[in-house]
Amino acid sequence: MSARSGSSARPHKTNGPVSEAGFVLDVRSLGRRPGTMRDVRRTATDHGRLGLDLIAIPADAAVELDLQLQAVSEGVLVTGTVSGPTVGECSRCLESFDDQVGIRLTELFAYPDSTTEQTTEDGEVYRMEDDLIDLEPVILDAIGLELPLQPLCAPDCAGLCPECGVRMAIAGPDHGHEILDPRWAKLANFAVDAPGTGDPAEGSTHPDQPASAADSAAVVSENQEEK
C-alpha cells in the first residue's frame, strides 16, 4: 500500500510556484535579513488529495494555516500548525468516516545561492524559487506520517461478522451463528438418515424392515400349538 498520495519524500519541483496563493508563500518582504519575521494565517483550498490510501484530506478541502516565517542566514524557517478535515475508510468495518488532522511544521527552505543549497542533494532539503515557498510537499510529507496506516472509525470498532459480513455495530447483541463442530458433522448426517419411527417403545426398527429370526420362530411356534 502506498504511504503517500503522489509525492516522494522531500520532492523538488523543477517548474516551481508562480505566485502567492494557497500553500505558496511570498517571502520577499523578509528581505533576507536574519531575524525578520512574518505571520501567515490563511485558509488554503486549491490543492490535491493529501494523505494515505485509506484516509486523507480531500482535494480542495479547507486547510487552515497558522505559520510564522523567519529569515535566517541560509534561508527561511517556517514554523507553525496546519490542520484540516479528513475522510477515511475504517480498516475494520470498511465504513466511511470523517475526522480532523493537525500537524506542526518546522522546516527550512534554503536560499538558491546559500551554502546549504549548494552542498545538499535534491531530496535532502527544500528550496525556495524566486522568493516563493511551496508548502504542499512539506504538508504532504508531514500528514503522511501523522495519519494512521489502518484508520478506525472508532477505537472500539468491532468490525464485521466473520460469518455473514454484517457490521457488528448494527447487528445487535443477540447476533450469532450456530457453528457445528466438523468432528460431529458425520454423526449429524447419520442421525438424519438413520431409520426409525421416532417412538421410543419401538426402538429403532423401521416398520418396513423384515422381522428378526426370533420373531419368525415365535410365529411358527404359535401356529403349531393352534393345530
Predicted pLDDT at 8 = 36
C-alpha cell at 213: 429370526
**Position 54, amino acid:** L
* pTM exceeds cut of 0.75: no
Q: Cα–Cα distance between 61 and 49 in angstroms, integer?
A: 9
Q: Cα–Cα distance between 50 and 99 in angstroms, integer?
A: 14
Residues 11, 34, 40, 77, CA torsion sign: positive
Strand partners, 75: 72, 110
**3-class DSSP state of 174:** coil
Residue ranges in the chain whose pLDDT is less than 50: 1-15, 204-205, 220
**Position 108, amino acid:** L
Q: Cα–Cα distance between 19 and 24 in angstroms, integer?
A: 7
How big is the CA angle at 84 (ends 81 and 85), to the nearest 5 degrees?
A: 155
| Bridging pattern class, strands 55-57 and 50-51 | antiparallel
- Determine the distance from the C-alpha atom of residue 31 to the mean position of all C-alpha atoms in its chain, rounded to a whole number: 44
Q: Cα–Cα distance between 171 and 168 in angstroms, integer?
A: 5
